[in-house]
Amino acid sequence: MDELIDIVDEQGNYTGKTCLKSEAHKFGYFHPTVHIWLFTKEGKILLQKRALSKKVFPGLWDISVAGHIAAGEVIETAALREVEEEIGFNILPENLIKIGTRKHQVNHANGIIDNEFHHVFISELNVPVSALRIQESEVAELKLFNLDILNNTSQYENVLLPEYSAYYNSVFNAINSLLNR
């Protein structure tokens, strides 16, 4: 779905300009997105298998939930909205924990230029996976994996991308420190 999004500069500062998501991806404009990693008390991480219709990384086991922030939308509101839209899970705002912001730049073979600032959150998944409702245009499947998959991406085929292992390791450390309190 094409949506109106805010444009930020190379440091992540809002410019006051907006454009369609498709334009940002065509011209490489920096824009904000959200990543939400959902974990269980038992040390599992929820991953989603991206729908085969996705333009980037179709069929890949990926972040629990990710999405674009609509123009003018508050970052945390976007995170809560994306989780509800993609998997039908409602997180209380006080249970959404921001662990950082990450600059991401990649040119995809299909012409999409992803210049994004990922606002990264973690939250506990306190319902069974069977209670979740997937948005089929975005998500093909949901599955719990052992949390240590975030430290061992190269051992798995089609699960996360090994080139982002430092990022996954930082998510692992944030979740692990929360679980070991």
pLDDT at 1 over 80: no
**How many C-beta atoms surround the C-beta of residue 111 within 10 A?**
9
- Tokens 């334009």 belong to 23
Secondary structure in 3-state letters for 37-74: EEECCCCEEEEEEECCCCCCCCCCEECCEEEECECCCC
Using alpha carbons, select from 142, 21, 29 the residue that is nearest to residue 70. Answer: 21
For residue 168, what pLDDT band results from cuts at 50, 70 and 90? very high
pLDDT at 59: 94
pLDDT at 156: 80
Cα separations (Å) of 158 from 15, 37, 60, 138, 180? 36, 18, 5, 17, 29
Its pTM stands at 0.96
pLDDT in tens, 87-137: 999 999 999 999 999 999 999 999 999 999 999 999 999 999 999 999 999
Q: Which CATH architecture has domain 4-179?
A: Alpha-Beta Complex (3.90)
pLDDT at 162: 86
pLDDT at 52 over 90: yes
pLDDT in tens, 149-158: 999 887 787 8
